[in-house]
Amino acid sequence: MKKNIGIFIFDEAEVLDFAGPFEVFSVASQLYDHSLFEVFTVAEQPKAITAINGLSVNPTYDFQKAPSIDILLLAGGEGTKQLLENQKVLDWIASTHTTTHYTASICSGARMLGKLGLLDHQPYCTHHQVYEDMQRLVSTGQPQKGQRFVQAGKVFTSGGISAGIDLSFHLLALLTNKEVAEQTAQYMEYRRVLP
């Protein structure tokens, strides 16, 4: 059954945090006649966001119009700091998380999961420069420094920037099978040993 993959983006999001996973899941679906996933971006407002280093991106949906999301991916970036004070964003993530199959953060997107209490007493990883922030946000969490990604129930966290691609391949294998993940990696010429 085709699954909806929603990627949350915002001003000052790290480009590879959302573009890498978008590419992995989109290419996988493309290789199977677009039958596996509907991949889209979601932002708070129906207007372009300005990612880190000035890239302008038009989200597919805003919070009001986004369809149901099976896999929620939270990009990271400097913009996550401001989002910790944005109750509308936090409420949307919390509400969406209740019905996802998986919820995952890329890089400093873990800040949002920490703020929501979803990493309390759980293992997690993030960008190497964000662990100090995370100690304040989720003092009971169990930082796994140096890991590419970590699972805690249906919640996944990944390390800095490029680690989101590794996590995406792992999720792809879980959602489909190892063969699909390997074929996608081969097509993308992404040379990583898959689990």
Q: Is 8 a domain residue?
A: yes
- CATH number of the domain where residue 86 is located: 3.40.50.880
Q: Is 79 a domain residue?
A: yes
Range of the domain at 13: 3-108+160-188
Q: Is 182 a domain residue?
A: yes
In the chain (195 residues long), the average pLDDT of successive 10-residue segments reads 97 98 98 98 98 98 98 98 98 98 98 98 98 97 96 97 96 97 95 60
Q: Is 75 a domain residue?
A: yes
Q: What's the pLDDT at 138?
A: 97
Residue 152, phi then psi, degrees to nearest 5: -140, 90
Contact between 152 and 122 under an 8 Å Cβ cutoff? The reply is yes
Other Cβ atoms less than 10 A from the Cβ of 32: the count is: 13
Q: Which amino acid is at 38?
A: E
Question: Tens digits of per-residue pLDDT, 111-163?
Answer: 999 999 999 999 999 999 999 999 999 999 999 999 999 999 999 999 999 99
Distance CA 129, CA 115 (A): 17
Distance CA 14, CA 80 (A): 10
Q: What's the pLDDT at 191?
A: 82
Closest CA to 83 of 56, 110, 53, 55: 110
Residues in the chain: 195
Number of compact structural domains in the chain: 1
Q: What's the pLDDT at 192?
A: 66
CA torsion, ordered 69, 124, 78, 97, to nearest 10 deg: 20
Q: What's the pLDDT at 101?
A: 98
Q: Write down the pTM of the prediction.
A: 0.96
Q: Is 11 a domain residue?
A: yes
Q: What's the pLDDT at 161?
A: 92
Distance CA 111, CA 67 (A): 24
- The enclosing H or E element of 58 equals none
Residue spans of alpha helices (H) in the chain: 15-31, 80-83, 87-97, 110-115, 131-137, 163-175, 178-188
Q: Is 116 a domain residue?
A: no
Q: Is 153 a domain residue?
A: no
Q: Is 128 a domain residue?
A: no
